[in-house]
Amino acid sequence: MNADATEPEFAFYLSGLDVGSQSSANERIVATVWVASNCTSTWNGKRILIDRLKRSSVEQVLERDLNAQDRDHGENVAARVEGRFVTFWYRGATGDGDLLSGPAVARYQIIGNHAVLASPVALTRAGFIYEWLRMSDADARRWSEPSAEAARRTVISALGGHGFEWERVARCGEHQKIWEIAIRLDNSDAPIVFRISGSRATELRMLAVGTTVSPSCGPEDLSRGLAGVGDELPW
């Protein structure tokens, strides 16, 4: 079965499917997940689609490629339609070779003819950094303080295709709800320091991005693993 007529060289198989209840306007929301057939990698192409069915017509509301890893059991990407919200769960990339992947989410609210990115945009702090750097400018503005938004393009340009290492993970403030996460690019002597607030996935927000760590923040012992940035957060 071919999920995209514009790419006839690829064969896609259906991985996830959910259909919403019929609305008062006789519409149904259908969420599907498609995976490119390829035996050479666990990072085969994943594509999520949201369609709106009304009588005999089908309207595509969203088409997006996901950087998602294959799963040994169950659907590679699971889909769920709940009213006007559509949620996809998967193992998502983090942009780093050590952590590699973690629990991830792509959630949308259907408003009119559009699928609008909804909270949470990530389930881990590492995933939040990854998604924040790759989402549209308009979406990034919704999850950023102005100073962080202003620095975002510079960070994206600096990252380019370079790898990085997790240099420092620290908790700040009296209630430790602010995390300071520093990474170091392979080609740079200066770290990139992200300050993120929120103890739940729905609360994550980018406060600032700089090159200097705060001595007052208490660092974690990274030799024990990357639980501070890789563990799944509650909603």
4 pLDDT above the threshold of 70: no
Q: pLDDT, tens digit, for every residue of 116-132?
A: 999 999 999 999 999 99
The whole-angstrom separation of Cα 33 and Cα 16 is 5
Q: What is the pLDDT of residue 162?
A: 82
Domain boundaries, the chain: 1-118, 124-235
114 pLDDT above the threshold of 80: yes
The whole-angstrom separation of Cα 200 and Cα 204 is 7
The whole-angstrom separation of Cα 206 and Cα 149 is 8
User: Which amino acid, 176?
Assistant: Q
Find the DSSP H helices in the chain.
125-134, 137-142, 146-159, 227-230
Average pLDDT rounded to a whole number, residues 138-151: 97
Give 235 or 36, the one with higher predicted confidence: 235
Q: Name the DSSP letter for residue 56.
A: T
Q: Would the pTM of this model clear 0.85, i.e. be above it?
A: yes
The whole-angstrom separation of Cα 10 and Cα 42 is 16
Q: pLDDT, tens digit, for every residue of 171-201?
A: 997 767 899 999 998 878 889 999 999 999 9
Four-point Cα dihedral 190, 212, 133, 99, nearest 10: 70
The whole-angstrom separation of Cα 218 and Cα 198 is 17
Tell me the percentage of the chain whose pLDDT exceeds 70.
97
39 pLDDT above the threshold of 80: no
What is the average pLDDT value for the chain, to the nearest integer?
91
